[in-house]
Amino acid sequence: MSVTLNVNGQDQSVDADPDTPLLYVLRNDLKLNAAKYGCGLGQCGACTVIVDDKPIFSCLTPISLLAGRKIRTVESLGTVDKPSPLQQAFIDEQSAQCGYCIPGMMMRAQALLERNPAATEADIRVALEPNLCRCGTHMRILRAVKRAADAMAKVA
Amino acid sequence: MDDLRDPTHLTRRNLLKGGGALVMSFSLFGAARGQGDPDAAKTAAPAAAPATPAAKPPTLPGSLDTVRNLDAWIGIDASNQVTVFTGKAELGQGVKTAILQCAAEELEIDPLKIKLITADTFASPNEGYTAGSMSMQFSGTAVRNAAAQVREMLIAKAATQLNVDAGKLHAENGQIVGGPQPLSYGALVADQMLHVEAQPTSKLKDPKDFKVMGKPMGRVDIPGKVTGGAAYVQDLRLDGMLHGRVVRPPSYKATLIDADVDGVGKLPGVVKVVRDGSYLAVIAQQEWQAIKAMRTLARSAKWQEQASLPDPAHLPEALKSLANQDGVVADSKTTATGVVKTFEGWFTRPYHMHGSIGPSCAVAQLGGDGVMTVYTHTQGVYPDRDALSQLLSMDKSKVHCIHMEGSGCYGHNGADDAGADAALMARAVPGKPVRVQFMREQEHSWEPYGPGMVTHFKAGLDANGKIASWDYELWSNSHGSRPGTAGALVSARYLATPFPADVQKLSINPNGSGDRNADPLDYKLPQKHVIWHFIQDEPVRQSSLRALGAYFNVFTRESGMDELARLAGADQVQFRLDHAAEDRGKDVIKLAAEKFNWAGWQPKAGRGRGFAFARYKNHACYVALAVEVEVNMDTGAVRLVRANCAIDSGEIINPDGIRNQTEGGILQSASWTLYEAVSFDKTRITSVDWQTYPIMRFGGVPDSVAVDIIPRPGQPFLGTGEGTQGPTPAAIGNAIRDAIGVRLYDVPFRPERVKAAILGQYQPLAHA
């Protein structure tokens, strides 16, 4: 059946079963790479995207719940040529090894910084608790999010 | 017989040559495919054969020694496009960027203008596995030397062409300059010019003239990865691609009695259900349909299971009883004298997971030309090709493995298995690409784990507080069951005509495997005796996890060194310096201690400091680590508070790359050590997700991790990626010992174990 989803500011009509988790629609129907399959259980955060203003596990959220909601993925932030402050901070801090977990980290961090632009490192640690990284890039992820917070504060 | 000579077959390498315009000359010798593959080279490059086959060829730098022609590594076309070929794979360790830096430095070009081809059985040199922290030592060295030799050939060619003295010319930004007019590399390269064997020595640039090497360079893959670019095999979408899922047995020894193959075949979107013996898989149009069909199929399946696992409550005894062969790792053939004090301990580690965040994935397609193409994040495209060729009963020349990045693997995870599943499913739907990704529980319960180990350390001090005796024993599997044969692929074991797992063999060599770093060459010892009690049987599937046995051999040794220093009444840093065998070892020890402020550290309640040191594999990078931990005395929870690491990886290519991997290695190894153990009952693996196999989360992340690199200009590359895995558990264990006054012998240091130690109720798991 056809479902209309608002993804990255655009209404998109997709033909998928209503119980399909958002993740598969983003990746396969809309060909968006950033959100990743990690566990399908809400335990690792690799699939994290923002719905309205909150980070959610797209691997657990069926599309039937998302009509009229604003879904955002890393692709909405910026591009290689014009990266957002958060993307630029991840590049500047070289905050990736394999990078598989990073888009999920970024969307959870983006939601935090939108909610609390003055987030401290302690706030960032608490906010990122649901997301796993196996390469041990945590120190750099924390630095990147703090750097982005500082950069966004300057602009504001 | 030899389709290697078929010039019509379109390969990645042919395509790179831009319709045959120019470039290097592989195809003229028919070696376009697998030109760097020694198997192919035997038949494919007669012109390159040495004049006297009996003479031993000279040793060439790095992997040039096995793949000897320059054009296997460097290509330059008429448009001045430089292409670099490596047989190594990007695993998230930054190898692409580092290889580009090596090539760019010696070729005097912008690294971002180089086209880089990585592991691909139809295009790249055969460099075996990307493993063991050896990419820079082998591939980096080969590329750097090949690039330097190509540069000098271009200068010589320009000198002849311009009729000037070569000494007046130099390479600069893709041109040879200094003569009457600049000549681009592309204008100078002629057919066959680089189809020559490399020389044993190269005119390498002086490190003081480096523009790219030794400087931090942003990883070429990171901008794409943070903006939603297609970066992984998981992101590959081919036209008409189907989605496959496998239904794994519930336990290793299970056999399939029955499953509703016909019923599931009628579910929406299902294209095919594959059953072959106890192997079950489903292929569907859409991924979610495949997952739902997989679940239905799994629910319908009836299995006969067998209790085949060791008793988890008595794992150390089980491991010891499984050992069936002894090997002597080191024997000084001297007798210990003057021992006045002795420390002895039994240590254990559980099975550990690679725990990739993204479950393994592959895409395979059986083409109309009879070639099975497999896009895979394997660490070894050539050995994987060999295994797939056997699995599929297809000629090696008909199996094309192309590396694409996956989620970080840290060793032999499910990558090769996913490639095999994708190929088995693609064979069932010829012409259609099939993408397979494992479910979380499949990756968790079927990946080959880093093996459980037991070690026994006994060493003595003489009256001067110097080590006088050293006896070490380890009980361990091989830490290696990688492909090469089909039996290494999980699914192959469950087919109606199964391929048995390879029989593991005891092998003692300088790299070490289970015994890696068991020989204490880092220290000057008057007497030593090191024995490996080899476990051939694999009741729990095991293979290579980052650093292999070095993780636990270094843990044991450096825990022992800590206790010996205490027995001697010596400072732990000074005690190591007093026994260190190499000056470069002493240098990292001193630097880590200084940066940590070891000498000025003040004891605090619930805090401890620990130190550890090892030269990885006894011949790779030198790592020293000082850490501070915080122990919650009520709960037993331990947190790594800060770490100072000093590392000497030889000549530096990308300092930030070294830092990134070293920081990551410390955190990952800390996670193994503080939290992780694969759980199982007598039949099934019970660590099936991140709840049942917890790893480090942000709440456990240190306040600071600092890495200081000792530069060694002009010295060989020593590699980096695995050097911290062994020192980390030892430094943490030593710091806990410092904080609570009790030595922990058993990894992981979970709160219940630490709390028992605080309460005086801790009993080590293993004993004589």
pTM of the predicted structure, to 2 decimals? 0.94
Question: Which of A30, A39, A82, A98 to substitute to test the interface with B, most B CBs within 10 Å?
Answer: A98
Mutation test of the interface with chain A: which of B237, B287, B357, choosing the one with the most A Cβ atoms within 10 A?
Answer: B357
**Number of Cβ atoms within 10 Å of the Cβ of B658:** 25
Query: Are A15 and A56 in the same domain?
Result: yes
Chain A residues closer than 8 Å to B663 by CB: 136-137, 139-140
Q: Is residue A78 part of a domain?
A: no
> Could you tell me if residue A127 is inside a domain?
yes
Which pLDDT score, from 0 to 100, does residue B191 have? 77
Interchain CB distance below 8 Å, A75 and B227: yes
Contact A16 B286 (CB under 8 A): yes
pLDDT in tens, B2-49: 333 333 333 444 444 433 333 333 332 333 333 444 444 333 333 444
According to the model, what pLDDT value does residue B190 have?
Answer: 84
* Mean pLDDT, rounded, of chain B: 93
What are the CA-CA distances from residue B289 to residues A25, A52, B242, B271, B439 (Å)?
12, 28, 10, 10, 14
3-class secondary-structure state, position B7:
coil
**Residue A44 and residue B690: Cβ atoms within 8 Å?**
yes
Looking at residue A21, the DSSP 8-state letter turns out to be B
- CATH number, domain of A35, equals 3.10.20.30
Selecting from B219, B223, B668 the residue whose C-beta is nearest the C-beta of A134 gives: B668
Domains of chain A: total: 2
Contacts of A32 in chain B (CB under 8 A): 228
Partners of B227 on chain A (C-beta within 8 Å) are 34, 74-75, 77-80, 83, 87
Contact B288 A77 (CB under 8 A): no
Among A31, A91, A139, whose Cβ lies nearest the Cβ of B226? A91
Cα–Cα distance for residue pair B643/B199, rounded to 1 Å: 44
pLDDT at A90: 98
Here the tokens at position B511 are: 């790299």
Residue A79 lies in a domain: no
Banded model confidence at residue B196, pLDDT cuts 50, 70, 90: very high
What confidence score (pLDDT) does residue A66 get?
A: 97
Range of the domain at A104: 85-155
Beta strands in A8-69 (DSSP E): 10-15, 48-51, 54-57
Confidence (pLDDT) at B213: 97
Closest Cα partner for B406 from B531, B225, B606? Answer: B225
| Domain closes at, from A43, A73, A103 | A73
**Which residues of chain B are within 8 Å of residue A131 when distances are taken between CB atoms?**
698
Please give the share of chain A, as a percent, with pLDDT higher than 90.
Answer: 96
Rounded to a whole number of angstroms, the distance between the first and last alpha carbons of chain A is: 43
Q: How far is B159 from A26, CA to CA, in rounded Å?
A: 57
User: How many Å lie between the alpha carbon of A20 and the closest alpha carbon of chain B?
Assistant: 6
Tell me which DSSP letter residue B526 carries.
Answer: S
Rounded to 5 degrees, φ, ψ at A22 are: -50, -40
The shortest CB-CB distance from A129 to any of B268, B439, B699 is to: B699
Say if residue A49's pLDDT is above 80.
yes
Closest-approach residue (CA) in chain A for B243: A28
pLDDT at residue B353 tops 90: yes
Q: What residues in B contact A31, CB-CB < 8 Å?
A: 237
Using CA atoms, how far apart are residues A33 and B18, in angstroms rounded to an integer? Answer: 30
Based on the domain organization, do A125 and A147 belong to the same domain?
Answer: yes
What are the φ and ψ backbone dihedral angles of B405, each rounded to 5 degrees? -65, 150
For A23-58, b/e burial (b = at least 16 CB within 10 A) is bbbbbbbbebbbbbbbbbbbbbbbbbbbbeeebbbb
Structure tokens at B606: 């619930």
Residue of chain A whose alpha carbon sits nearest to that of B688: A39
Work out the number of other CB atoms within 10 angstroms of the CB of residue A82: 10
Cβ contact A33–B231 (<8 Å): yes
Q: Which part of chain B has CATH 3.30.365.10?
A: 3-225, 233-305+354-446, 327-332+450-479+514-758
Pairwise CA distance, residues A153 & B365, whole Å: 50
Q: Which of B92, B357, B670 sits opposite A44 (nearest CB)?
A: B357
| Cα B67 off chain centre by | 21
In a domain, A9, yes or no: yes
Structural domain contains residue A61: yes
Query: What is the value of ipTM here, to two decimals?
Result: 0.98
Q: How far is B564 from chain A (nearest CA, A)?
A: 31
Alpha helices in B447-549, H assignment, sequence order: none
Closest CA to A149 of A122, A118, A123: A118
Distance CA B92, CA A67 (A): 37
Give A36's contacts in chain B (Cβ within 8 Å). Answer: 234, 357-358, 407
CATH number of the domain located at residue range(s) B233-305+354-446 in this protein? 3.30.365.10
What is the spatial distance between Cα B531 and Cα A155, in angstroms, rounded to a whole number? 63
pLDDT per position as a tens digit, B263-279: 999 999 999 999 999 99
Inter-chain touch B358–A103, beta carbons under 8 Å: no
pLDDT(B51) > 60: no
- Contact criterion met (CB below 8 Å) for B563 and B345: yes
> Residue A110 domain-assigned?
yes
- For residues A61 and A124, membership in a common domain is answered with no
Examine the pLDDT at B638 and tell me if it is beyond 70: yes
The proportion of chain B whose per-residue pLDDT surpasses 90, expressed as a percent, equals 92
B456-482 confidence digits (pLDDT tens): 999 999 999 999 999 999 999 999 999
The shortest CB-CB distance from A139 to any of B286, B359, B705 is to B705
Q: Considering only alpha carbons, which residue of chain A is nearest residue B407?
A: A100
Residues of chain B with C-beta less than 8 angstroms from the C-beta of A90: 222, 226
CA distance B700 to chain A (A): 9
Fold of the B327-332+450-479+514-758 domain: Aldehyde Oxidoreductase; domain 4 (3.30.365)
Q: What is the CATH number of the domain that holds A124?
A: 1.10.150.120
Nearest chain B residue (CA) to A96: B222
Structure tokens at B352: 């550990």
- The distance of A106 to chain B (nearest Cα, Å) reads 8
B36 vs A97 pLDDT, higher one: A97
pLDDT in tens, B698-737: 999 999 999 999 999 999 999 999 999 999 999 999 999 9
CATH of domain B3-225: 3.30.365.10
Among B664, B691, B697, the residue with its CB nearest the CB of A97 is B664
Number of H helices, E strands in chain A: 5, 5
Residues B596, B598, B601, B603, CA torsion sign: positive
pLDDT one-digit tens code per residue, B102-148: 999 999 999 999 999 999 999 999 999 999 989 999 999 999 999 99
Considering only the beta carbons, identify the residue of B94, B357, B663 that sits closest to A139. Answer: B663
**At A156, is the pLDDT very low, low, confident or very high (cuts 50, 70, 90)?**
low
> What is the rounded CA–CA span in Å between residue A119 and residue A142?
11
Name chain A contacts of B408, Cβ cutoff 8 Å.
Answer: 97-98, 100, 134-135
Is the same domain home to A98 and A69?
no
Instruction: Out of B225, B440, B702, name the one closest to residue A99 (CB).
Output: B225
